[in-house]
Structure 1
Amino acid sequence: MPDSARLALPIVLVGPMGAGKSRVGHRLATTVDAPFIDTDLRIVERYGPIDEIFDREGEEYFRIIEREVVAEALREEAVISLGGGAVLHPDTRDDLAGLAVVWLQVSRDAVRPRLQGGNRPLIADGGLDRWSAIAAQRRPLYEAVAGLSIDTSRRSVARIVEAITERFGGT
């Protein structure tokens, strides 16, 4: 993108686990010459592995620290990938109002291979069926906060980044 100064930052990526938020976020940040923040990675750096936080402290504690990390990240001029459940917190949804928010969607069939071999505590029991239930439950929240939605199921990362920069870049 020739004029990254015109890009509205932050740009925030939301969506279910396995939608490609980290992968797209890295490429988008490189393309627009902005820092990339993965809030899940920040949590891991500060508090340890997410699955261990869930085991040790529970989901409620995880959501508290997630909210703190997300609120901090949203104040930075960066491309930001939020964990799939970050939109559950009403303050996060309020913070997203007026920002460039992209909802990355993915089909059940496309996400299946993406979820294999990961440590995702919310789908440890229930697998793909649990993923589908969580994605359906959060869908209205993603829809409410996003200014753009993109299905990542069969689209290349390059095409996804192109669509985002066209929508929010003004080029």
Structure 2
Amino acid sequence: MSERPLVAVVAMAMNGVIGREGEMPWRLKSDLKRYRQLTMGKPMIMGRKTLVSIGRVLDGRDSVVLSRGRELPFEGAHLADTAESAVAIADDLAGRRGAEEIAVVGGAEIYRLFLDRLVRLHVTHVEAEPEGDARFPPIDPRVWRLVRLDPALTGPGDSAPTRYALYERRA
């Protein structure tokens, strides 16, 4: 069990799609800035495919990769073979960095695996319905309370409008 809360950071289409063939099915330059703000200085738990889709270990953050494999695609990432070891590694890294929380950043299997442990969801709702092969689990209003919803925004370099939502687990 982690000393620090686990929070999800995800961009999700109206139909629940978060990915297609290892890529995001949209281009959201403005959301990448939000992602950076939400994850900077924190350990991020992710699957191997998510790290591959990012293309590198991100600066100012620790990448804890939960994978059945024994090799990581990029130097500097931390390998975990169970959810418990991923949380333990991330918690240790958070302690070293002084981070107050651990970000769970995908993909679909990782979100499902940690859903019951998450205390907050930082969701960018993408106002589109692309085809895809990876989906975020449904956000059950009996479990999650919407505490913030920003109006739709589209910035330069965005292929669809988005709304940012913050959900907190109900007591």
TM-score (norm 2): 0.40
Higher-helix-fraction structure: 1
Higher-strand-fraction structure: 2
TM-score (norm 1): 0.40
